[in-house]
A = this chain, B = another copy of it.
């Protein structure tokens, strides 16, 4: 039985990246076990026993329980380490922040993650642009929604909600990272881009960035 938090992650997983940002913002001690997704290390039997979905991230708690799904992991961190808070106090505002996160978690990322990208590539062997077009289509729809909700809300500040980083920023930043590495970037969505750039100034976000992890 370990007393530390263990993140089962991957350098190139944006879902693990979200959890890493939350851990860094909370300032809690943790250790990350990295899986090379391109080598399929998440498909090993040893990891299937941790997470039957064979997706990252998972989080092992000090008591030995294994938690799965990035949003559930971050809500757990919020409940067990309340400060600094990643969610506001007001229920309507909490719903706003969670909805911004879920646009990323439900409407952009699942349609564009590794398993779906590979499937789309293999289904269109004659179209080398098939995967890129697929990514751009769903990514753009999601960023359009995020931009509208961020640009038209009095609650948007330096970050997605006010002037301190929170749960929605944990989701926004890795998706912007994906758009920059796999797509056309986010210049078409200026509020999204401004917030991602503000986050990049903070040490917690810099420590969680895949660029900091590649040796």
Interface residues of A (CB under 8 A from B): 52-53, 55, 61, 63, 65, 67-69, 71-73, 75-76, 79-80, 91-92, 94-96, 98-99, 102-103, 105-107, 109-111, 115-116, 119, 123-124, 137-138, 141, 144-145, 148-149, 152
Contact = CB atoms under 8 A, between A and B. Distances in A.
Given A110-B110, A137-B119, A75 B53 contact: no
Given A105-B106, A110-B107, A72 B52 contact: no
B107 A94 contact: no
B79 A91 contact: yes
B116 A95 contact: no
A98 B111 contact: no
Given A69-B102, A71-B102, A110-B111, A76 B95 contact: yes
Contacts of A152: 52
Given A52-B144, A137-B119, A145-B53, A95 B67 contact: yes
- How many copies of the chain does the oligomer comprise? 2
Contacts of A96: 67, 72
A75 B137 CA distance: 29
Contact of A103 (B53, B91, B99, B123): B53
B99 A69 contact: yes
Contacts of A79: 91, 94
26 contacts: A52-B148, A52-B152, A53-B107, A53-B145, A61-B92, A65-B92, A67-B92, A67-B95, A68-B95, A68-B99, A68-B149, A71-B98, A72-B96, A72-B98, A75-B94, A75-B98, A76-B91, A76-B92, A76-B95, A79-B94, A102-B105, A110-B110, A111-B111, A111-B116, A116-B138, A119-B137
